[in-house]
Structure 1
């Protein structure tokens, strides 16, 4: 192990006149701003104040960005410039960049990096002094190269398998949507009214300061994220933990049988709906979720109805905000949606039919998601084992512990 500061220096060189503006991200790595906006569909803040307010980046430098404590440090393959808010790490001697790229994105390193700063929150960055507190492995350059080549091969195979499982999930979701639409179309509406006349009550939560991680223990308080309704199925694991010093809000606890609708979400997901199944006495609503009680009407029928193309079109037309970022749908817009409903009994029959016809699809989708999750775990474990020297990159065999 070697001190991190002996391997990487703190590049403070001002940007050059011909430098392109770079954007580091967890998902896409380091791209030019133009490429990032194209691939992500998001806008970024353009720097118009001159090169003296930017920091130069050379190929194979590493950039500590605002969320490095969550996903690691990004390697740049490009020459350019970044905001002064970022820390740029320049190799001090001959290193194999791809080896350190795997190392600095590994779970073991990300955990160590996050521990260098107390009470780290979203929006804060890790400075060079924090990075320099850590020691990094420094195998011989030939070994670094062998490990990087081994991981390139192995992770490419795993990534292909993950992509196949994700493709299966996507295809099943399309088939499920088609079955739901067909079943709903067959239900005969007996009333046409605004959604506000269907709703018996509506609640909304709050968004206190939360941790960046979810809770898995039913005894710990957490606030639901908007992702808990994505896909039309309530996912209680989509939450953020309340810090120990926070005061919970029992009046905002989610209730079984409520119809949850996201107020704020990305364009294709704003207004997503799902029904709470089960009791979750330590999960609070956020202010980005509406919770509706529907009286005698079936919340599951209405959730399926809101997911149909006709209703999605209405919701997306009335949502406000930039199309490439988070959008909002007001309560008034939702309550004024026209709704054609069959009788409550026929709603329940339609829901039974949907459950029966989509059961196998949901089971297959859940299994594909489980396999994809296991593959991601395998990928991470493989990277950790390789960069810490527990796997021989020439044979792919785990090394035995030194008996001495």
Structure 2
């Protein structure tokens, strides 16, 4: 939808904005709000925390955007013996520090509460509507982070928050802008959530397809096209997670079929000091990422790498060519013998290991447990047919997931752009609500 602009603009006195609607003003937050940090009662004193009745929030609460529940409850004694302070309902809180993206994030309070010392309360006066201010600060998240070194660990402070500039439309207009954005962001968020649910269902469908195919064989039509029996006799292999498998398949233990080993311990210093042509993989890297490069190599040919513990436990990847594998966080290397197709076994092990990971096995035992996992093993010809079928079907699913993911990104960017346009006066939404 195309929105109107204001009839006249003027130069802005703020460095974050080049122009303002002609009837808007601007001021720093120090002139329009009270700002103070919170405090945390001594965690070692049970009398400050047990059976408390005073709401208290930590920095992570800002991720909610609108806070209606406390992180914890502190006692009156804990409140009296700390620097915690009450913050009124409708006021804003901002994370002064915190892990990852937390620093600079802002939320509005749906309850009166106290907070920790890594958060600041922003209590606007009558000249600025709290929800409008929330949207303005949200639109300037990166500018606010940059005041304290951007991605560096430096924290924000109350003086910095006081220097944040803010455009100031008439209060009634601020409320109109906030109301407009409230309606639009809810609509956009609903669309984003719907698409994320579609992605989740696609992932479930992908896992179900792989699980069904590596335990029951190809669907009848695909089996017939590959020259296989479309309706093979089934048998119970005595492996609970597998269920019935085609009678002509065998079941086997992982360590009976593979040459298993671990990669070398490779530090970031090694990579920096010994650059080369071969990629180094580690279970610490996300999404099959490359940790770095070294000149020497451990592998040559077709292998799989297999994460046995840590956050990515159970992840299996097919490798080909020359590369290194680190043993950081438990990465096993497995060379496929000629009787096994590495693509098939990647699919089979991704399902087999997922069953064990879900049972929260002690990470120290995971390595040995995974080596003993049983999986179904058809002939090499059928393995290749299954791998070809799954490759084709999963490419379709991946393409659809990517398309939906692009839509999510576009909606998210549009949401941010709409907020920015409304709170800066680039669009006039007075008649749009």
Structure 1 residue 259 corresponds to structure 2 residue 305 = yes
Q: SS of the residue aligned with 2:263?
A: strand
Structure 1 residue 312 corresponds to structure 2 residue 339 = no
Structure 2: distance between partners of 1:377 and 1:178 = 32
Which protein has the bigger strand share? 2
Which of 127, 137, 140 is matched with 1:104 structurally?
137
The structural deviation recorded for 1:157 is 2.0
Equivalence map 1:353-368=2 (5 Å) = 353-368=389-404
Q: Structure 2: which 5+ residue stretches go unaligned?
A: 1-25, 42-51, 218-247, 270-278
Structure 2: distance between partners of 1:280 and 1:147 = 58
Q: Which region of structure 1 is more displaced relative to structure 2, 93-102 or 196-205? A: 196-205
The TM-score normalised by the length of structure 2 is 0.66
How many residues in Structure 1 have an aligned counterpart in Structure 2? Answer: 348
Structure 2: distance between partners of 1:371 and 1:153 = 20
Which of 46, 57, 62 is matched with 1:22 structurally?
57
Match of residue 158 from structure 1: 188
Structure 1: distance between partners of 2:129 and 2:327 = 45
Alignment CA distance shift 1:205-1:15 (3 Å): closer
Match of residue 387 from structure 2: 351
Alignment CA distance shift 1:251-1:316 (3 Å): farther
Q: Structure 1: which 5+ residue stretches go unaligned?
A: 37-43, 210-220, 243-247, 321-326, 398-404
Equivalence map 1:192-271=2 (5 Å) = 192-195=252-255, 198-203=258-263, 228-229=286-287, 234=288, 236=289, 250=294, 258-261=304-307, 263-265=309-311, 270-271=312-313
The structural deviation recorded for 1:375 is 1.0
Equivalence map 1:318-329=2 (5 Å) = 318-320=360-362
The TM-score normalised by the length of structure 1 is 0.70
Equivalence map 1:2-401=2 (5 Å) = 2-12=27-37, 18-23=53-58, 24-29=60-65, 31=67, 50-51=78-79, 52-53=81-82, 54-65=84-95, 66-67=98-99, 72-106=105-139, 109-118=140-149, 120-121=151-152, 125-187=155-217, 189-190=249-250, 192-195=252-255, 198-203=258-263, 228-229=286-287, 234=288, 236=289, 250=294, 258-261=304-307, 263-265=309-311, 270-275=312-317, 287-288=328-329, 290=331, 292-296=333-337, 297-308=340-351, 311-320=353-362, 330-395=366-431
C-alpha RMSD of the superposition = 4.2
Question: Deviations 1:148-170 (Å, cap 9, x if unpaired)?
Answer: 11111222222222222222222
- Which entry has the higher C-alpha Rg, 1 or 2? 2
Structure 2: distance between partners of 1:304 and 1:319 = 21
Structure 1: distance between partners of 2:360 and 2:181 = 47
Structure 2: distance between partners of 1:164 and 1:62 = 29
